[in-house]
Amino acid sequence: MNRLINRLLPALWYSLLALGLLLTLTPLWWMIAASLMPPGEATSYPPRLWPSAMTFEHYRALFTRLDLARYLLNSTLLASAVTLISLLINSMAGYAFAKFRFRGRDRLFQSLLAALVIPAQVAMLPLFLLLKQFGLINTYGGVIIPGMASIFGIFLIRQYLLAIPDSLLDAARMDGASEFRIYWSLVLPLCRPILVTLGIFTFMGTWNDFMWPLIVLTDSAMQTLPVALANLLGEHVQDTELMMAGSVLTVLPVMLLFVVLQRYYIAGIMLGGIKG
């Protein structure tokens, strides 16, 4: 009896895993397959999981007829700018919270953390009015500027730096290095792993964000890929293959980024998850 269970258990276990794999990957598989099908084939019945003849015409249509290159550029530009600027600003603040002693530090940090419960949508209506005052509606700045600092980013950097001994920094201070120099040429290199992690988080978060770009970038030439894709759906809902090509194009850059840098990404979730 026990022998039988020992023989069957792995088989049962792996069929569960395989089922999970199938459920997780089938939608993504179908998205890619349908994007390569000749027109009309994605709406044939029974559904096909593989194109009868592979074609890239839908991708070509996206770039020639629908000018998706423009949105690809917008998304890339916005996500890169937010990532680079926010890494700089958040790492400075995280460094200050981790390695400087000043009055009210812990209370200030605690109240920032408590503010994480506030849903971002509460701020959106006045934020829109504020940016309108500054003339930032329909500009890249409307997306970049509110994303330049994040409480979560500051938190992540601080946690990481707490584990680094002060003696290292004190030695540099004894040598007479200026505070900014210490930050730039000592702290930042030390933070490299966590900067990569936070960088991926920020890039993906900005790339995938939908609601705020939808609100603030009303002019169609300024839109990001997700917003453009949602608009495309309105006009081309019957064009299944075309829509799937658009979805692949939107998803692919972030998926590649994840596959290449997944070690950093997953480590970041664990750090945020356990210590939070």
Partner 1 sequence: MIYHPHLRISSAWAFLAPALLLIAVFFFLPIFAALLLSFTDFDIYALGDLDRLRFIGFSNYLQLLQSPLFWTALGNTFYFVIVGGPLSVAVSLGAALLVNAPLTRFPGFFRAAFFLPVVTTLVAVAVVWRYLYHPRYGLLNYLLSLAGVDPIDWLGDPDWAMPAIILMAVWKNFGFNMIIFIAGLQNIPTQLYEAARIDGAGAWRQFRYITLPLLGPTFLFVALMTMIGYFQVFAEPYVMTQGGPANRTLSVVLLMYEEGFRWWNMGYASAVAFVLFALILAGTLLQLKLRQREPS
Task: Please state, in angstroms and rounded to a whole number, the distance separating the CA atoms of residues 240 and 237.
Answer: 7
162 binds partner 1 (CB under 8 A): no
> Which of 43, 76, 138, 139 lies at the binding interface for partner 1 (CB under 8 A)?
43
> Which of 15, 135, 260, 276 lies at the binding interface for partner 1 (CB under 8 A)?
276
165 binds partner 1 (CB under 8 A): no
The distance of closest approach from Cβ of residue 26 to partner 1 in the complex, given in angstroms and rounded to an integer, is 7
The distance of closest approach from Cβ of residue 230 to partner 1 in the complex, given in angstroms and rounded to an integer, is 5
Task: Please state, in angstroms and rounded to a whole number, the distance separating the CA atoms of residues 232 and 1.
Answer: 59
All residues at 6 or more sequence positions from 137 whose CB lies less than 8 Å from its CB, including other chains: 128, 131, 216, 218
81 binds partner 1 (CB under 8 A): no
Q: Which of residues 113-152 bind partner 1 (CB under 8 A)?
A: 115, 117-130, 145-146, 148-149, 151
Task: Please state, in angstroms and rounded to a whole number, the distance separating the CA atoms of residues 206 and 213.
Answer: 9
Task: Please state, in angstroms and rounded to a whole number, the distance separating the CA atoms of residues 258 and 187.
Answer: 26
Query: Of 59-67, 86-94, 160-168, 190-198, which segment contacts partner 1 by CB under 8 A?
Result: 86-94
The distance of closest approach from Cβ of residue 44 to partner 1 in the complex, given in angstroms and rounded to an integer, is 7
185 binds partner 1 (CB under 8 A): no
16 binds partner 1 (CB under 8 A): yes
The distance of closest approach from Cβ of residue 198 to partner 1 in the complex, given in angstroms and rounded to an integer, is 13
- In a 13 Å sphere around the CA of 98, the CA atoms on its Cβ side amount to 23
Terminal-to-terminal C-alpha distance of the chain: 46
Nearer to partner 1, 81 or 243 (CB): 243
Nearest to 51 by CA among 73, 67, 35: 35
> Which of 2, 4, 27, 163 lies at the binding interface for partner 1 (CB under 8 A)?
27
> Which of 30, 63, 140, 152 lies at the binding interface for partner 1 (CB under 8 A)?
30
Task: Please state, in angstroms and rounded to a whole number, the distance separating the CA atoms of residues 213 and 45.
Answer: 37
239-265: burial string, b at 16+ Cβ within 10 Å, e else: bbbbbbbbbbbbbebbeebeeebeebb
The distance of closest approach from Cβ of residue 83 to partner 1 in the complex, given in angstroms and rounded to an integer, is 15
3-state helix, strand, coil in the chain (%, to 5): 80, 0, 20
- In a 13 Å sphere around the CA of 250, the CA atoms on its Cβ side amount to 23
Tell me the number of residues near partner 1 by CB under 8 A.
94
63 binds partner 1 (CB under 8 A): no
Q: Which of residues 186-245 bind partner 1 (CB under 8 A)?
A: 204, 207-208, 210-211, 215, 225-227, 229-230, 233, 240, 243-244
